[in-house]
Structure 1
Amino acid sequence: MIQLSDEQLNNLGKEALVVIVSSLQDQLLALQSQLDHANAQLSDNNRQIELLTEQIRIMNQRFFGRRSEASVSEINGQLSLFDSFNEAEYLKQDSLKEPEITEVIIPSYHRKKTVGKRESDLSGLPARIIEHTLSDEELAARFPDGYKELPEEIYKRLHIIPETFIVDEHHVHVYASRNNDGTILKAPRPKDLFRNSIATPALVASIINGKYTNALPLERQSKTFKTNGIQLSSNTMANWVIKSTDVYLSLIYDRLHEMIYDSKVIHADESPVKVMQIDHAKIKNGKKTYMWVYRNRPLRGTHPIVLFDWQPSRHSEHPREFLKTFSGTVITDGYQVYHKLAKERRDLKVAGCWVHARRPFAEFIKSVGQDTARGSIAQEAYRMITEIMHIDNTFDDLSVTDRKKQRQLVLLEKVDAYFAWAKQKYSQVTHNSTIGKALAYSINQEEYLRVFLSDGNVPMDNNYTEQAIRPFTIGRKNFVLIESSNGAKASAILYSLVETAKANMINTFEYFNLLLTEIPQHMDDKDLRFLDDLLPWSPKVQKECPSKYKKS
Structure 2
Amino acid sequence: MRADEERFYEEARKLDWESLLSGYVDLHMKYEELLRNQRANERITTEGVIQFQQLKKDYEDALIENEQLKKTVKKLTDQLELKNRAIFGRNTEKFLDTLNASENPPKEFEDESQTEDCEEESNGSRIIISLDDYKKSLEENGEDNPEGHKGSKSGKDRKSGKGSKISRLLESLKELPAQLIYDLDIDKLNNDYGEGNWRIAMWHEHYVVEKIEKPLYVKKILTPVISSGLEHVMTTIPYKNPLKDRTYISASILADILYRKFVLALPFFRQAADYSMQGLELSRQVIIGWVNELVPLIMTPVIKHMTQLMLLCPYHNCDETYLQVLHDGRAPGTKGFLWVHSTGELYDGHPIIIFIYEQTRGTDHLRKLLLEFHGYLTCDAYISYHVIESESEGRISVTGCMMHCRRYFALSLFVNDLKNMSEDEIMQMPETKVLMLIREIYHEEMKLKNMTADDRLAARKEFVAPKVEALFVYIHELDASDELRSEKLSKAVSYAINQEKYLRRFLEDGNIPIDNGSSERYISSYSRGRANWLFADTLVGANVNAAMYSIVETAKANKVNPYEYIKYLLEKMPKHLDDEGNVVDPEGFEEMMPWSESFHEYVKDINKTRRILYSGMFPEPEIPKAPKRVKSIALVDSGQNSA
Normalised to the residue count of structure 1, the TM-score between the two structures is: 0.78
Going from structure 1 to structure 2, the CA distance change for 1:486 and 1:42 (only over 3 Å counts) comes to: closer
Q: Aligned partner of 2:291: which letter?
A: V
> Is 2:594 aligned against 1:536?
yes
Q: Give the deviation of 1:515 after TM superposition.
A: 1.1
Alignment match, 2:86: 62
Alignment match, 2:43: none
SS in 1 for 2:366: helix
Alignment match, 1:386: 439
Going from structure 1 to structure 2, the CA distance change for 1:526 and 1:76 (only over 3 Å counts) comes to: same
From 78, 102, 120, the equivalent of 2:171 is 120
SS in 2 for 1:383: helix
Alignment match, 2:209: 158
| Alignment partners' CA distance in 1, 2:339 and 2:246 | 36
Alignment match, 1:351: 399
CA contact (8 A) 1:193 1:200 kept: yes
From 249, 263, 272, the equivalent of 1:213 is 263
From 275, 296, 305, the equivalent of 1:246 is 296
SS in 2 for 1:291: strand
| Alignment partners' CA distance in 2, 1:109 and 1:96 | 8
> Is 2:125 aligned against 1:71?
no
From 224, 242, 245, the equivalent of 2:274 is 224
Deviates more, 1:298-307 or 1:222-231: 298-307
Q: Aligned partner of 2:350: which letter?
A: H
> Is 2:342 aligned against 1:308?
no
Alignment match, 1:197: 247
Structure 2: 5+ residue stretches without partners: 1-59, 102-107, 123-150, 608-643
From 309, 324, 329, the equivalent of 2:376 is 329
SS in 2 for 1:159: coil
CA contact (8 A) 2:342 2:351 kept: yes
| Alignment partners' CA distance in 1, 2:428 and 2:193 | 79
Q: Give the deviation of 1:323 after TM superposition.
A: 2.0
Going from structure 1 to structure 2, the CA distance change for 1:116 and 1:313 (only over 3 Å counts) comes to: closer
CA contact (8 A) 1:429 1:435 kept: no
> Is 2:531 aligned against 1:477?
yes
| Alignment partners' CA distance in 2, 1:374 and 1:176 | 90
From 315, 323, 327, the equivalent of 1:273 is 323
CA contact (8 A) 1:310 1:489 kept: yes
CA contact (8 A) 1:262 1:302 kept: no
| Alignment partners' CA distance in 1, 2:195 and 2:438 | 80
CA contact (8 A) 1:352 1:461 kept: yes
Deviates more, 1:68-77 or 1:215-224: 68-77
Q: Aligned partner of 1:421: which letter?
A: Y
Q: Give the deviation of 1:289 after TM superposition.
A: 1.0
Going from structure 1 to structure 2, the CA distance change for 1:208 and 1:179 (only over 3 Å counts) comes to: same
CA contact (8 A) 2:351 2:557 kept: yes
Going from structure 1 to structure 2, the CA distance change for 1:452 and 1:514 (only over 3 Å counts) comes to: same
Going from structure 1 to structure 2, the CA distance change for 1:166 and 1:217 (only over 3 Å counts) comes to: same
Work out which of the two has the higher radius of gyration on C-alpha atoms and give 1 or 2: 2
Going from structure 1 to structure 2, the CA distance change for 1:63 and 1:320 (only over 3 Å counts) comes to: farther
Q: Give the deviation of 1:489 after TM superposition.
A: 0.4
What's the C-alpha RMSD, in Å, of the aligned pairs?
Answer: 3.9
Going from structure 1 to structure 2, the CA distance change for 1:181 and 1:220 (only over 3 Å counts) comes to: closer
| Alignment partners' CA distance in 2, 1:96 and 1:392 | 26
Write the deviation string for residues 40-71 of structure 1: whole angstroms up to 9, x where unpaired. Answer: 98996898476665454334323432345333
Alignment match, 1:438: 492
SS in 2 for 1:267: strand
Q: State, as a whole percentage, how many aligned pairs show the same letter.
A: 26
Going from structure 1 to structure 2, the CA distance change for 1:41 and 1:476 (only over 3 Å counts) comes to: closer
SS in 2 for 1:261: helix
CA contact (8 A) 1:69 1:359 kept: no
Going from structure 1 to structure 2, the CA distance change for 1:211 and 1:52 (only over 3 Å counts) comes to: closer
From 350, 361, 364, the equivalent of 2:412 is 364
SS in 1 for 2:300: helix
| Alignment partners' CA distance in 1, 2:475 and 2:302 | 47
| Alignment partners' CA distance in 2, 1:41 and 1:432 | 19
Alignment match, 2:555: 501
CA contact (8 A) 2:259 2:563 kept: yes
> Is 2:421 aligned against 1:374?
no
Alignment match, 1:172: 223
Q: Aligned partner of 2:363: which letter?
A: S
CA contact (8 A) 2:110 2:155 kept: no
Q: Give the deviation of 1:315 after TM superposition.
A: 0.6
SS in 1 for 2:165: coil
| Alignment partners' CA distance in 2, 1:452 and 1:373 | 30
Going from structure 1 to structure 2, the CA distance change for 1:405 and 1:128 (only over 3 Å counts) comes to: closer
> Is 2:283 aligned against 1:233?
yes
CA contact (8 A) 2:241 2:247 kept: no
Going from structure 1 to structure 2, the CA distance change for 1:97 and 1:328 (only over 3 Å counts) comes to: closer
CA contact (8 A) 2:319 2:379 kept: yes
Q: Give the deviation of 1:466 after TM superposition.
A: 0.8
Q: Give the deviation of 1:239 after TM superposition.
A: 1.5
Going from structure 1 to structure 2, the CA distance change for 1:305 and 1:117 (only over 3 Å counts) comes to: closer
Q: Give the deviation of 1:380 after TM superposition.
A: 1.4
| Alignment partners' CA distance in 1, 2:192 and 2:64 | 100
Q: Give the deviation of 1:142 after TM superposition.
A: 9.3
| Alignment partners' CA distance in 1, 2:285 and 2:596 | 34
Q: Give the deviation of 1:408 after TM superposition.
A: 3.5
Q: Give the deviation of 1:191 after TM superposition.
A: 4.5
> Is 2:391 aligned against 1:338?
no
Deviates more, 1:302-311 or 1:120-129: 120-129
Alignment match, 2:507: 453
Q: Aligned partner of 2:359: which letter?
A: P
Alignment match, 1:26: none
| Alignment partners' CA distance in 2, 1:101 and 1:484 | 49
| Alignment partners' CA distance in 2, 1:429 and 1:240 | 63
Going from structure 1 to structure 2, the CA distance change for 1:115 and 1:97 (only over 3 Å counts) comes to: closer
Q: Give the deviation of 1:520 after TM superposition.
A: 1.5
Write the deviation string for residues 459-518 of structure 1: whole angstroms up to 9, x where unpaired. Answer: 111111011110000101011111111101010010011111111111111111111111
Structure 1: 5+ residue stretches without partners: 1-36, 78-94
Write the deviation string for residues 366-403 of structure 1: whole angstroms up to 9, x where unpaired. Answer: 44337342211101111222222322333334433343
Going from structure 1 to structure 2, the CA distance change for 1:118 and 1:69 (only over 3 Å counts) comes to: closer
Q: Give the deviation of 1:426 after TM superposition.
A: 2.4
SS in 1 for 2:377: strand
Going from structure 1 to structure 2, the CA distance change for 1:178 and 1:429 (only over 3 Å counts) comes to: farther
CA contact (8 A) 1:101 1:118 kept: no
Matched residue pairs, number? 490
CA contact (8 A) 2:441 2:468 kept: yes
Going from structure 1 to structure 2, the CA distance change for 1:434 and 1:515 (only over 3 Å counts) comes to: same
Write the deviation string for residues 335-369 of structure 1: whole angstroms up to 9, x where unpaired. Answer: 11000000001211100001110112223334433
